[in-house]
Each structure stands twice: as structure tokens, then as C-alpha cells.
Chain A
Amino acid sequence: MPRKVVIKIKARDGAHDFSAPLNFGLADCCCLAMPLDMVPGKIRAVGSKPVREVLDGLEQMYEDLYGDE
């Protein structure tokens, strides 16, 4: 049985392959895609919330945590 899978993440400059554990999920893929400016598929929502809503909440949190520094 293979212990790793190859994940293909589409980016604007082409596809990139990663070797990853079998239990890798969508969240993990986003983590990999993020620093390389890639798009890990079409994500409509995070949990039950639209991405825009989650982003707004996260930005508010960041401002609250680090805004004074």
C-alpha cells in the first residue's frame, strides 16, 4: 500500500506536484498552496461560511491582535 500520494495544485504558472501523506485534506492543500500563490481548486465556503465572510473575520482578528503595534 502506498504511504504517500501526489497532490497536483493548479497555479497560474502551471501545475505543481507535492508528495503528501494519505490523510491530506483540503485544508492542508490550502496551506501548501498559499505561499506559492496557487489556487487549490474552487473553494466556495469555509465550513458553512462564505470565504469573504471568513476573510473579514480574520482581518478583524488581525487588526485587534496586532493593530496597536
Chain B
Amino acid sequence: MGSSEGDNHFWQSWGDLWTDESPEFDNGQAWRKHFTSFLGVAPEEHWVFKGRRFKPWISGKLGAPGLFNPIVAMVLSRGGGLLSLYVLHLLAEKPRYGNDIMKEIEVRTHGGWGPNPGAVYPMLTSMEESGFVEGEWEDPKKRTRRIYRLTSEGKDELERIKEVMRPKLEDAIQVLRHLNADLDLDLDVEGGGYA
């Protein structure tokens, strides 16, 4: 992975910090500092992690920051920020237009994920404003199809996000496997899981 050079590996360097007994760990500030150092922006300001779902993960107020899985929050919130990661990934392969991206995601996930146009197009606009992609009309006169290509800045951003997300995505798959196994076994889990 592009951003995994030595000490800059996000989770490796976070693990090194976690063994520290600094009082900063009491309120999640060390996590926030580490994240900001790695991604160049505070977690709550990062375009992928904005929103209520990520607050417990960002703040670390529920305990160790790693306890909360933002990917699971994304998945159970119908895609959310995971979609942005995947869109950048698809654009890293080749330039694409919006409809192409949506169809490709649906094909690759065997129909499991069908992104909403209302989510994809504003996201592409936002990525373009951030400089992660460049858009160009296929026909400047008709302006019906806008082709997006990943910029070098976008490629760096993709690698950084992939780095941060990988273990969380693996964990998310695990929790869904557990859930699926429980459903198959039809275990009686009383009381639901939340107040």
C-alpha cells in the first residue's frame, strides 16, 4: 500500500502510541492528534468522516478509540462514507462518468450495492471541489456526460483512507458474519442490543 512506509503506517504508529501512558489517552485527544498528523486534517473536518455516526469514533469518549467501528456505522447507515472510498478506488482504475460508477459498483458487488444517484453525483462534485478528481464534459456543448479522472492529490487521499479503513473494514465483515451466523442459527437473544 502506498502510504505504508515504515513509521508512517497509520495503525502501526497508533499501536506504538497506545502503549504510552500519557494522560492524553483519557479523553481521546491522542487519537485525534494522531489522526490529524496522518491525514493532515482533524477527523471531524475530514470529508469522509463528517457526521453524527463518526462522533464516538472520533472523540474516543466511549473508551478506546478503536472500540467503535466507523465502517459498521457506515454500512448500517446505508453506505455512507464507504461509498466515497470505493468511488475513488474505481476512478483510480480509469476515468469514469457518474452512471458508469454506479453500474460498476452494482456489478462488482453482484447487485448487493446499488448506489443512489442522489448520493453519487453530489459526492463527485464535492470531490472535484476538493481537487481529488477533475471533471470534463464529454461534449462541452451538450453537457450530458461528465468524465471524472483521479488527480495525484486524489490518489494520495485514496491511499491514506484505504490505510485507515482496512482493519475497520475487516472487522465490519466479521461482525456481519457473526450476525449472519446468528440469524441462521436463530438464537434467541433477548432484549435487543440497545436502550
Contacts and interface: CB of A to CB of B under 8 A. Distances in A.
Interface of A: 5-10, 18-21, 23-35, 37-44, 46-47, 49, 51-62, 64-66, 69
Interface string B168-195: 0111111111111011000101111111
B164 interface: no
Interface of B: 1, 52-53, 55-57, 62, 66-70, 72-73, 75-78, 82, 85-86, 89, 108-110, 112-113, 162, 166, 169-180, 182-183, 187, 189-195
A35 to B, nearest CB: 6
B110 A57 contact: yes
A25 B194 contact: yes
A10 B179 contact: no
Nearest to B59: A21
A31 B174 CA distance: 11
A62 B169 contact: yes
Given A8-B191, A32-B62, A58 B110 contact: no
Given A28-B56, A65-B86, A58 B179 contact: no
B173 A59 contact: yes
Contacts of B190: 10
Nearest to B162: A65
A32 B85 CA distance: 23
B68 A31 contact: yes
A54 to B, nearest CB: 6
Nearest to B158: A65
Nearest to A58: B173
Task: Give the top 3 A-B pairs by smallest Cβ distance, nearest first.
Answer: A57-B112, A40-B193, A27-B76
Contact of A7 (B113, B169, B194): B194
B113 A26 contact: no
B161 to A, nearest CB: 10
A64 B107 CA distance: 12
A69 B194 CA distance: 38
Contacts of A19: 62
6 contacts: A39-B182, A41-B194, A42-B192, A55-B177, A57-B110, A58-B169
A27 B193 contact: no
A27 B66 CA distance: 16
B72 A30 contact: yes
